Amino acid sequence: MKYAENILETIGNTPLVKLNKVLGEDFPALVLAKVETFNPGNSVKDRMAVKMVEDAEKSGILKPGGVIIEGTSGNTGMGLALAGIVKGYKCIFVTNAKQSKEKCDILRAVGAEVIVCPTDVKPTDPRSYYSVSKRLAAETENGWYVNQYDNISNRTAHYEQTAPEIWEQTEGKLTHFVAGAGTGGTITGVGTFLKEKNPNIKNIAIDTYGSILKEYHETGILNPENAYSYITEGIGEDIIPENYDMTVIDHFEKVTDKDGAIWARKLAKEEGIFCGYSAGSAISALKQMQDTFTKDDIIVVLLHDHGSRYVAKIYNDDWMKEQGWLD
């Protein structure tokens, strides 16, 4: 009989699916979507969540009966919650008010405590979800602050798991890798592996307006004052997490809140691939960059999470009309 010992053993080995319609007949390159929604927590974050937990166990930071505490936009929390269920840890997650209600409801459904913080505050503000996470970890007996932003196990998970899968699935023939940029784990982990295999592969990070990642990549100057509020979930930062190695990223492409939402809807309707906000941003970025690709290019674009987490937002006509994004 073939079966997994627990749900964590089903993480990974997600399919690579050719995109046929959404980018249009005139799009020159072959585009293959790495559909990470097939992970049990419905996102790419399952991979690094379990890796961070297992590494913390090995180092003795996370002890039996411990409490996992993290600031999350939802997806990392889901992966950590699954690990907590299987391994016997309580979970407390801190998020901000920008995140969809579905994400909070899902985390509570799998037994986590969820605390919602205000969005429009600086990272150093004691009310920010960064600050509240750290404070709770310090105050909680046997608490472990995951810190996905600076926890290098994040990018190691993608170096060890996600990247080799992509390399095998494409037989090493890919020319471009495209992924959303948030904590930096995916784009850096996968990007580092691919550059080691073939330095000519281009790693493209997807950013959003209001984030400072693209500016920092191009100038090396960190100016948090240039960050401003945006609606897109899952990508962009107002800090530079330690998981980043900017040297393996060839280009940052920014996408508007509106375009990310519209292209996520197009991906669902034209390809039958029901994914989240950042996936729409990634597809929109490819269309924006269409003139830079050729017929010989093979692009792997990572689709980060599932559309079910955005039903009340980008997949809701009334919400889209409120934003002025839908006729």
* Under 8 Å between Cβ of 206 and 282: yes
Identify the pLDDT of residue 217.
98
Identify the pLDDT of residue 72.
85
Check whether residue 36 and residue 97 sit in a common domain.
no
∠ Cα 8 43 234 (to 5°): 140
Q: pLDDT category, 147, cuts 50, 70, 90? A: very high
How many helices, marked H, and strands, marked E, lie in the chain?
11, 10
Check whether residue 206 and residue 93 sit in a common domain.
no
Check whether residue 222 and residue 299 sit in a common domain.
yes
Q: What is the pLDDT of residues 74-112, one digit of tens each?
A: 899 999 999 999 999 999 999 888 777 888 999 999 999
Domain limits at 178? 7-40+161-323
Task: Look up residue 234 and give its two tokens.
Answer: 């899952």
Of the listed ranges 99-113, 160-174, 212-226, 244-258, the least confidently predicted one is 99-113
Active-site annotation holds for 214: no
* Under 8 Å between Cβ of 197 and 244: no
Domain membership of residue 133 (yes or no) is: yes
- C-alpha 95/C-alpha 76 separation (Å) is 11
Q: Under 8 Å CB-to-CB from 213, ≥6 apart: which residues? A: 181, 205, 207, 236, 237, 240, 252
Mean pLDDT of 205-225: 96
Of the listed ranges 66-80, 122-136, 305-319, the least confidently predicted one is 122-136
Q: Find the CATH number of the domain harbouring 279.
A: 3.40.50.1100
Check whether residue 81 and residue 139 sit in a common domain.
yes
Domain membership of residue 2 (yes or no) is: no
Check whether residue 138 and residue 171 sit in a common domain.
no
Domain membership of residue 312 (yes or no) is: yes
Q: pLDDT at residue 268 above 80?
A: yes
Check whether residue 134 and residue 261 sit in a common domain.
no
Candidates 34, 45, 51, 254; catalytic one: 45
Q: What is the pLDDT of residues 288-297, one digit of tens each?
A: 999 999 999 9
Q: Residue 306: how many CB atoms within 10 A of its CB?
A: 23
Strand ranges (E), 138-278: 143-145, 176-180, 202-208, 251-255
Query: Strand pairing partners for 2?
Result: none
Check whether residue 262 and residue 293 sit in a common domain.
yes
Which of 78-100 are b and which e, b meaning 16 or more Cβ less than 10 Å from the residue's Cβ? bbbbbbbbebebbbbbbbbebbb
Q: pLDDT category, 45, cuts 50, 70, 90? A: very high
Q: pLDDT category, 120, cuts 50, 70, 90? A: confident
- Structural domain count of the chain: 2
Q: pLDDT category, 285, cuts 50, 70, 90? A: very high
Residue-averaged pLDDT of the chain: 95
- C-alpha 322/C-alpha 33 separation (Å) is 30
Percent of the chain scored above 70 by pLDDT? 100
Identify the pLDDT of residue 118.
86
Check whether residue 170 and residue 269 sit in a common domain.
yes
Q: What is the pLDDT of residues 159-210, one digit of tens each?
A: 999 999 999 999 999 999 999 999 999 999 999 999 999 999 999 999 999 9
Q: pLDDT at residue 73 above 80?
A: no
Q: pLDDT category, 327, cuts 50, 70, 90? A: confident
Q: pLDDT at residue 129 above 90?
A: no
- C-alpha 86/C-alpha 46 separation (Å) is 13
Using a 10 angstrom Cβ sphere, with 0-12 exposed, 13-18 middle and 19 or more buried, the burial of residue 204 is: buried
Mean pLDDT of 130-154: 93
Mean pLDDT of 201-229: 96
- C-alpha 79/C-alpha 146 separation (Å) is 12
SS3 assignment, position 225: helix
Domain membership of residue 254 (yes or no) is: yes
Check whether residue 129 and residue 209 sit in a common domain.
no
| DSSP secondary structure of 7-41 | GGGG-S---EEE--STT-TT--SEEEEEEGGGSTT
Tell me the pTM.
0.95
Domain membership of residue 1 (yes or no) is: no
* Under 8 Å between Cβ of 59 and 311: no
Check whether residue 110 and residue 166 sit in a common domain.
no
- C-alpha 274/C-alpha 54 separation (Å) is 30
Task: Look up residue 12 and give its two tokens.
Answer: 């990974």
Identify the pLDDT of residue 75.
92
